Amino acid sequence: MMLGTTVPTPLYSLYADRMNFEVFTTTVVFAAYAGGVLFALLAFGRWSDAVGRRPMLMAGVVFSIVSAAVFLAADSVALLLVGRVLSGLSAGVFTGTATAAVIEAAPERWRGRAAAVATVANIGGLGGGPLLAGLLVQYAPHPLHLVFVVHIVMAVLAGLAVLTVPETSQRRGGIGLQRLSVPPEALPVFVIAALAAFAGFAVTGLFTAVAPSFLAEVIGIGNHAVAGAIVCSIFASSAVTQVLANRIPPPRAVAVGCAILVAGMAVLAVALHLSSLPGLIAAALISGVGQGMSFSRGLAAVAERTPPERRAEVSSTYFVVAYVAISLPVIGEGLAAQALGLQTAGVCFAIAVAVLATVCLIAIVSREKRSAG
């Protein structure tokens, strides 16, 4: 399911040529996905507790299949937007529900690793989508259609799997909107962690939406498989880091993650300025490490300060910040590209994210000093 949300990434340049639109429209189409995710998180976030995991997972499968079908028929920007919103609804359902189901279904000996397995499945799927699509678009026939046929087959198989597994939820609670709030005792830590998550997710949004354009227009390489591999690399390094950094104390991990994110943005700015492919790849890998560490351990830091009965709403608030970060800054990048050119806009984006990550790093260090004093 998560793989299906990112398969359009290497296809955006093909859609742009066929439908005659610029990078700004690409960023808007991409951001429509985040809108679908946010709606699903807020509207359906509590439903699986009441109706069960399997019905909600099947709803996510249906959203995903219909999204792929819309892309198969897409001949206008409007249909691309519809397909992305449906894809976002699928991702929003699966982000919380599938993670909970994996943890609940895990046997006792796997309890400590279940969350890591869910993380790798989630982030790994996001990275696998561009890689699979890039290879099919570059080396297989029917570049705008085959990848969605493959995804529909995968989604049908996933739906059959959901039908065969037992229900894991006790079906407690009621249907309603997911409340967003942060208790006062967790607010200072939440603000810092959320800013770090915002910076990290802004970068993943940039690479997912615009990396193929960077590759083609700034570096001069039109290979879709390479574009997919670059986008895959940021998610792969994020997933590996989230698993390996699981035992690092949260404040230290968030600080280190912010520092690495600053380094990644410095590399990105230099890579775009010099039109360097190795630099762009290095920026993706480094930024993925920084994003993975700051996001996962930031959530852990917030959870430590939050009463157990309020962790669900606080986690939802944290994810809302993250998905806003995926969409709005990328649209800003598209607007800047229209005014300044893609290369200059990318450098400015990297500088802005580096400044934000530096502010977070300074805030963490200052807080730790006050606590030690």
Q: Which of 167, 173, 179 is nearest to 47 (CA)?
A: 173
Q: How far is CA 257 from the centre of its chain?
A: 17
Q: What is the pTM of this model?
A: 0.90
CB 210 within 8 A of CB 327: no
Give the pLDDT of residue 174.
66
What's the pLDDT band for 53 if we cut at 50, 70, 90?
confident
Average pLDDT over residues 103-128: 83
List the structure tokens of 121. Answer: 């499945």
Residue 352 has pLDDT above 90, yes or no: yes
Ordered domains of the chain (ranges, CATH):
2-166+179-372 (1.20.1250.20)
Is the confidence at residue 75, as pLDDT, over 70? yes
| pLDDT tens digits for range 191-231 | 999 999 999 999 999 999 999 999 999 999 999 999 999 99
Q: Which parts of the chain fold into alpha helices (H)?
A: 2-6, 12-19, 23-44, 47-51, 53-73, 77-105, 111-139, 146-164, 187-213, 224-244, 250-274, 277-304, 311-340, 342-372
Question: Are 295 and 197 in contact, with CB atoms under 8 Å apart?
Answer: yes
Q: Please check whether residue 218 is in contact with residue 272, taking contact to mean a CB–CB distance below 8 angstroms.
A: yes
Whether the Cβ atoms of residue 3 and residue 153 lie closer than 8 Å to each other: no
What are the residues whose beta carbons fall under 8 Å from the beta carbon of 297, sequence distance 6 or more?
245, 248, 250, 253, 254, 257
pLDDT at 111 over 80: no
Q: What is the average pLDDT score of the chain?
A: 90
Q: Is the CA virtual torsion 147, 149, 151, 153 positive or negative?
A: negative
